[in-house]
Amino acid sequence: MLKHLGSSLALAIGTLAVLGGFASAYRGHGTGAGDLIISAPIIILGALAYRSAKKRMLGQVAATTTRKVMEGVAVLLIVALLFSTNDLKTLIALEPAHYIIIPAWAIIAYMFVGFRSPKGD
């Protein structure tokens, strides 16, 4: 379990952020709801892709094509969520943590683990 502590924490934070985003949306505009509604799924998808790649790297699971494709789909969904927002330039300028730092963290973390060869090889 300690080998997956970081991704477990990211999943917990992402889940809490989803709940916070919905609570902010309930309170109305200007509460940061849109930012959490975008960044929370990015955190969750990034953590799931990272965890899957790390399990592959550690040899805990088989490195199947399906697993690799699902990890790739998760990363592509992160990019799609980011570019599906209206007026992305303004959002990046106003909230760089939600629209630059979190997606970059998720993708870079995945790339560090996802493209390594398994420990058994």
Q: What pLDDT score was predicted for residue 12?
A: 93
The whole model's pTM is what?
0.87
Determine the Cα angle at 12 with ends 91 and 51, to 5°: 90
Domain that holds residue 110: 2-114
At residue 30 the predicted structure's pLDDT band, cuts being 50, 70 and 90, is low
Q: Which residue is it, tokens 């699902």?
A: 70
Q: Establish if 119 belongs to a structural domain.
A: no
Contact 55, 113 (CB under 8 A): no
At residue 54 the predicted structure's pLDDT band, cuts being 50, 70 and 90, is very high
Residues, the chain: 121
**41-70 average pLDDT score:** 93
Q: What pLDDT score was predicted for residue 1?
A: 58
Mapped onto helix, strand or coil, the DSSP state of residue 109 is helix
Q: Establish if 35 belongs to a structural domain.
A: yes
Please tell me the total count of domains within the chain: 1
